[in-house]
Amino acid sequence: MELTHPVPADKWNLWNRVVLAVVFVWLIITVATNAIVDPYYVFRLVPLGKGYTPNERNAKLEYLLAHPRSHDAFLIGSSRMGVYNPAQASALRPGRHYYNLSVFGGDAVDSLVMLKTLKAQGVTIREVVMGVDPGTFLHPRSAADPSYRHHPVVTGEPRWRFLVDHLLVSSFYHSISKLEHFALETTSTPVLNFDFTTGQWQLVGRERRIRADPAGYRHEVFGSRPIPQAHPVRWLEPRFEEFRALVSWLHANHVEVYFFLHPLNWRERKALEPSALDEFVRRIEGIAGPVKNYLGKPEWRDDKHFYDPKHYRPYVAEALLRQLWLDPSTRPVQATTRRKTIG
**Mean pLDDT, the chain, integer:** 88
Delineate the domains of the chain, giving CATH numbers in brackets: 56-326 (3.40.50.1110)
What end-to-end distance do the CA atoms of the chain give, in Å?
74
The arithmetic mean of pLDDT across residues 287-308, rounded, is 91
User: CB neighbours (10 Å) of residue 267?
Assistant: 18
Predicted pLDDT of residue 41 = 93
The arithmetic mean of pLDDT across residues 232-251, rounded, is 95
Give this prediction's pTM.
0.89
Radius of gyration of the chain (CA): 24
164-184 pLDDT per residue, tens:
999 998 888 888 888 888 887
Q: How far are the Cα atoms of 18, 113, 150 from residue 11, in angstroms, in the given order?
A: 11, 55, 47
Predicted pLDDT of residue 343 = 32
Residue 332 clears pLDDT 80, i.e. is over it: no
Predicted pLDDT of residue 223 = 86
